[in-house]
Structure 1
Amino acid sequence: MTAEEKKVIMASSAGTIFEWYDFYLYGSLAAIIGAQFFTPFPEATRNVFALLAFAAGFIVRPFGALVFGSLGDLVGRKYTFLMTILIMGLSTFLVGLLPNYYQWGVAAPIILIVLRMLQGLALGGEYGGAAVYVAEHAPIGRRGYYTAFIQTTATLGLLLSLIVIISVQGYVNGNWPDQPVLDAAGAAMTNLDGSPMMQKAFNAWGWRIPFLGSVFLLLISLYIRLQMNESPAFKAMKEEGSASKAPLREAFGNWRNGKFALIALFGLTAGQAVVWYSGQFYALFFLQNVIKVDSFTANVLVAWSLILGTGGFLFFGSLSDRIGRKPIILAGCLIAALTYFPVFEALTRVANPALHAAHQTPVTVTANPEDCSFQFNPTGTAKFTSSCDIAKAQLARTSVNYTTIEDPNATAAAIQIGDAVIPSYDAGNLAGEELAAAKSTFDTSVADALKGAGYPLVAADNTSVAVASNFVDIFTGQKLAIIAILTYLILLVTMVYGPIAAMLCEMFPTRIRYSGLSLPYHIGNGWFGGLLPATAFAISAQTGNIYSGLWYAIIVAAMTVIIGAIFVPGGTQNKSMFTDDPEHKMHR
């Protein structure tokens, strides 16, 4: 690797790491931010809404790919880089400044989602540019290894965000007292005994520090990008006068090139995306929200798995130069589809043994099927007041596995936990003190029955759950086992993600490469992958099983294996299919 090639990789990778850091700050702090901006909504809805605000940044990524991909093919890779980093950096900084719901009302969550969309637009143009820029500097026989450095940036950006969050969280909570929790009207909330309800200082205001600090990363990134030169393949194409005048129309407006975009989407990036997000972001969400590991411990354990597994990107990228990109990517998708259920079940068993043991107690909800709704409420406007919906929501909040028994003659839903049968109530037919009394009786009865069945409802009473007191507090059998499971998931991520940049670059000619690869990549990762946490959460809540949300990732990964095996070109051949590219002339 020459000094110039090292400079290209370092400059591209550093800027992209900072962009991913900005983007994933929100994902890592979704629950805390949701409490600040979505407080008028019930807890379960707030979690889904917060995840969808996170997904908003993904939904618009393909549009960013179209806009910046076209610019990258028309005016060059370098100047497009500068635009994407500036938009991303400023949007992230403004999230840190944005007043919460209590100060600005409904305008606050709306502006928050707009800023997330700007981040998604910027990222839609960033990744394709970085991958293309490095690929067009790399020797043909080493594209997999060279572009694998770009593939590490998403994981390193997530790791950087986790390390910053852990550091700031520890410092703020250690030096500032707890803050009162406010209700939707801005008044201090109280516990049942009348004492004030408190929250950690980091949850109240300290979460803003990582966002505000990103302005320093923005300045560094801008400086790095200004030192970069245009890619030699793009310059050669410009000099020959063979650049596309309408890259979007040329890339997607005819079947010859358009079919490669469809094949890349369904035969590569869709499966790669669900494996990537299952192994990293959903694993973190699962630890925190489903199996009730505290956020600090979950961040520490995931951070260590990222540290241990990140080298796999370079290994599989380099291996793809020798045995082919396609076999490695599809093998990763297949292994993930076959092992996700036992792996996530093992994660529950190791991280929270009390919860795993409690799942052996049968729990059922008997209800009239017409009384039950699909409780996916992204806007926070729907009201779920039926006895069935109330019963299922109560169990979902406590990560209970349950089955639904349909009884068309049932007038009200009932929960059975062991030998205890607890009737639910219809909130739509009650009001005032009568509603409050029914809710209190129901909540107390369910809590007592779950506690009797061994469910750990209060963190202080659960001594079996994994807890880390600091970043290096991992040297116990339980925590090392969790890290090993998470590292396995990361290695699957590296299999599918390490070779993907080189594979996509080789599917499109230079004149439309930025546009051609960016759209299928960001539809796959933005829509199939980015919506995975919210979709999996909703499926699990609907079916009554904490693992059933994994079916989404498994089905998409299996689809990619089948389509990729039949339609994706390449096999063990790693070269562009377009032999008239300027890069071929340079490397001959």
Structure 2
Amino acid sequence: MEYLDAAARPSGSIDNEAKEMRKVIFGSSLGTAFEWYDFFVFGTLAAILGPLFFSKELGETGAFLAGLATYGAGLVLRPFGSLLFGKMGDIAGRKTTFMITMALMGVSTAGVGLLPTYEQAGIIAPILLVILRCLQGLALGGEYGGAATYVAEHAAPGRRGYATGWIQICATVGFFLSLVIVLSCQTALGPEQFKAWGWRIPFLISVGLFGVSMYIRSQLNESPVFMKMKAAGHLTKSPIKDSFGNWENMKVVLLALFGAVAGSGIIWYTGQFYALIFLQKSLKMEFGTAYILVSIALAMATPFFVIFGWLSDVIGRKKIMMFVFLLAAVTYVPIFQGLTHYGNPALERAIATSPVTVASNECSIRAFSGPQTDCEKVKEFLNTASVPHTLVAKSGPGVTTKIGNKVVEGLDVAGLKAAIKSAQYPEKALDSEINKPMVVLLLFILVMYVCMGYGPLAALLVELFPTRIRYSSISMPYHIGTGYFGGFMLYFATLITTSTGDIYAGLYYPIVIAVLSLIVGLFWLPETKDFDVSR
């Protein structure tokens, strides 16, 4: 399909090509959005799934971290999926490959909804959960590169940012869809029934989404750029070797990873998933309230994926992405402090008037086990109660907790509760005190950062690599950057926050990654908007 010299072609031909392009964008985007829904519904329910699938001996914080680690298991497999399906996509074709990835995703997601819990099956429950989560990651590893490549190879020069901007919407649409469905189920069933069995419904709904997606994608044609290269006999027989065994191409892969994808991935997870976790875990906002506020912000900001994709066709991909990396590094802490100020002002007042310190030399970081020492048990109590605190050294054994002007020695739960209540630390964010418009505004800004980082990304990646190894070359840096750097942000930021007691300390993880991408991208990443994708 040729898009050049449009003025010289009959208007009917142009109309047909425009219709075909809309069909390509719609089919690819809708299918990808449903796959992201399947992947993200697990993360949306992480706070509920942790206690259901892991031993109570881990404690609330340990079970939540275990749930996040299981979410991370899917992220680990994404690059391996990119190798497997990237090779298939460069040899067998774009369309065939992402039809297979969709089938694998649909089956594994529905499987999660049928699993027994830890209470019902013991250790077999988390084992099966991790296996299905890994299959999800494997499937998603082959999805994005195929969809982005497929759309970009159909798009006209000067329109690739706009066209692939629709693909960039998909992850957020999938996340938004997971929020809406989870919230609807929870509201309809009530908190108790939802935790007992209703959590299965969002996973089982994927069966219907899978059927719709498969039908729509079956109507699409193969990429014209791929077909042209295949007809000319120029396809590679070893795309993995040509992508990663060739140092010239491998340098571009590394630049894409560290100069673009890592920063964009970290911004995506911070602005959407971590913001949701922060509202619920740190600010003690009600489940439904947090979901509604985040959903409103997502709905308001999502069209800007396409807008920033279009803008990157005009001014370039690199300028927009480097600017948002700088914005994120400078403003993340103030924005999340603002969420506390407007989302739970009582907590902010208590932190200011009655700071909490835990003095001990017996606190260790335990990522996958419950608290052992009195110090660790005190910190577990404070983390569960969402009471920020500072850990300081103490000469001698034991633990001493100071809450405002009250001192509590040892593991005195009753004393801790009384001191926290006296210091007026809130048990939850009061709905009457939440400044909802301002919270939505701050969340909107965070999602706008996501749009700025992600809107131009697919076009940039497609333009960096030649057609014969494009699927493989795109998929690996994308899934390492978004999966490892971005996805594990939830786990590491939460671990840092619960270990230090500082609810903002976890933000230094995304800030460091954003600065890394800013430096690498600014000095070494090329501008790609005028590159020829048919090469």
Separation of aligned partners in 1, 2:370 and 2:193: 32
2:225 matched to 1:233?
A: yes
Give the match for residue 380 of structure 2.
393
Runs of 4+ in 1 over 6 A off after TM superposition: none
Q: Select 2:274's aligned residue among 277, 282, 285.
A: 282
Task: Give yes or no for contact 1:347–1:482 (8 Å, CA) kept in 2.
Answer: yes
Identity %: 48
2:90 matched to 1:68?
A: no
1:171-227, CA deviations, whole angstroms, 9 ceiling, x for partnerless residues?
222xxxxxxxxxxxxxxxxxxxxxxxxx61111111111111111111111111211
Give the match for residue 144 of structure 1.
161
Q: Select 1:210's aligned residue among 194, 199, 202.
A: 202
Cα offset for 1:465?
5.1
Task: Give yes or no for contact 1:422–1:446 (8 Å, CA) kept in 2.
Answer: yes
1:223 match: secondary structure: helix
2:177 matched to 1:160?
A: yes
Task: Give yes or no for contact 1:320–1:499 (8 Å, CA) kept in 2.
Answer: yes
Separation of aligned partners in 2, 1:464 and 1:411: 43
Task: Give yes or no for contact 1:59–1:530 (8 Å, CA) kept in 2.
Answer: no
2:234 match: secondary structure: coil
Give the match for residue 188 of structure 2.
171
1:446 match: secondary structure: helix
2:90 match: secondary structure: helix
2:397 match: secondary structure: coil
1:5 match: secondary structure: helix
2:215 matched to 1:223?
A: yes
Task: Give yes or no for contact 2:59–2:371 (8 Å, CA) kept in 1.
Answer: no
Give the match for residue 35 of structure 1.
51
Q: Select 2:401's aligned residue among 397, 400, 415.
A: 415
1:200 match: secondary structure: helix
Q: Structure 1 length as normaliser, TM-score?
A: 0.86
Matches within 5 A, 1:4-43: 4-40=20-56, 41-43=58-60
RMSD: 1.4
2:329 matched to 1:337?
A: yes
Separation of aligned partners in 1, 2:278 and 2:517: 24
Task: Give yes or no for contact 2:284–2:427 (8 Å, CA) kept in 1.
Answer: no
1:262 match: secondary structure: helix
1:109-167, CA deviations, whole angstroms, 9 ceiling, x for partnerless residues?
11011111111110110011000000000012110000000000111111111111122
How many residues align? The count is 517
1:431-465, CA deviations, whole angstroms, 9 ceiling, x for partnerless residues?
xxxxxxxxxxx111111101111101367xx4655
Task: Give yes or no for contact 2:371–2:380 (8 Å, CA) kept in 1.
Answer: no
The one-letter code sitting in structure 1 at the alignment partner of 2:221 is N
Task: Give yes or no for contact 2:109–2:204 (8 Å, CA) kept in 1.
Answer: yes
Give the match for residue 191 of structure 1.
none
Separation of aligned partners in 2, 1:4 and 1:391: 62
The one-letter code sitting in structure 2 at the alignment partner of 1:539 is I
Separation of aligned partners in 2, 1:362 and 1:383: 25
Separation of aligned partners in 1, 2:397 and 2:176: 51
Separation of aligned partners in 1, 2:163 and 2:34: 19
Give the match for residue 519 of structure 1.
476
The one-letter code sitting in structure 2 at the alignment partner of 1:97 is L
Cα offset for 1:73?
0.3
Q: Select 2:99's aligned residue among 64, 82, 87.
A: 82
Give the match for residue 372 of structure 1.
363
Cα offset for 1:246?
0.3
Separation of aligned partners in 2, 1:231 and 1:558: 36
2:398 match: secondary structure: coil
Q: Structure 2 length as normaliser, TM-score?
A: 0.94
Q: Select 1:559's aligned residue among 509, 516, 525.
A: 516
2:120 matched to 1:129?
A: no
1:414 match: secondary structure: strand
Q: Select 2:420's aligned residue among 430, 445, 450.
A: 450
Separation of aligned partners in 2, 1:354 and 1:76: 57
Q: Select 1:528's aligned residue among 485, 500, 508.
A: 485
The one-letter code sitting in structure 2 at the alignment partner of 1:260 is V
Give the match for residue 65 of structure 2.
48
Give the match for residue 474 of structure 1.
none
1:455 match: secondary structure: coil
Matches within 5 A, 1:354-503: 354-360=346-352, 361-368=354-361, 371-377=362-368, 382-407=369-394, 409-425=395-411, 442-457=412-427, 462=430, 464=432, 466=434, 478-503=435-460
Give the match for residue 575 of structure 1.
530
Separation of aligned partners in 1, 2:34 and 2:218: 15
Range 5-14 or range 37-46, more displaced: 37-46
The one-letter code sitting in structure 1 at the alignment partner of 2:416 is V
Cα offset for 1:39?
3.9
Cα offset for 1:297?
1.0
2:492 matched to 1:506?
A: no
2:297 matched to 1:314?
A: no
1:366-396, CA deviations, whole angstroms, 9 ceiling, x for partnerless residues?
112xx2211322xxxx353223222222222
Task: Give yes or no for contact 2:284–2:428 (8 Å, CA) kept in 1.
Answer: no
2:401 match: secondary structure: strand
Task: Give yes or no for contact 2:59–2:370 (8 Å, CA) kept in 1.
Answer: no
Task: Give yes or no for contact 1:17–1:156 (8 Å, CA) kept in 2.
Answer: yes
Give the match for residue 268 of structure 1.
260
Separation of aligned partners in 2, 1:73 and 1:161: 31
- Structure 2: gaps spanning 5 or more residues: 1-16
Give the match for residue 4 of structure 2.
none
Cα offset for 1:273?
0.7
Give the match for residue 550 of structure 1.
507
1:68-115, CA deviations, whole angstroms, 9 ceiling, x for partnerless residues?
011000100011011100000011111111111122111011101111
Separation of aligned partners in 1, 2:287 and 2:43: 12
Over 3 Å counting, the alpha-carbon distance change for 1:172 and 1:383 in structure 2 is closer
Separation of aligned partners in 1, 2:499 and 2:193: 34
Task: Give yes or no for contact 1:400–1:545 (8 Å, CA) kept in 2.
Answer: no
Give the match for residue 12 of structure 2.
none
Give the match for residue 435 of structure 1.
none
Task: Give yes or no for contact 1:353–1:464 (8 Å, CA) kept in 2.
Answer: no
Separation of aligned partners in 2, 1:18 and 1:259: 33
Separation of aligned partners in 1, 2:227 and 2:392: 66
Separation of aligned partners in 2, 1:150 and 1:446: 50
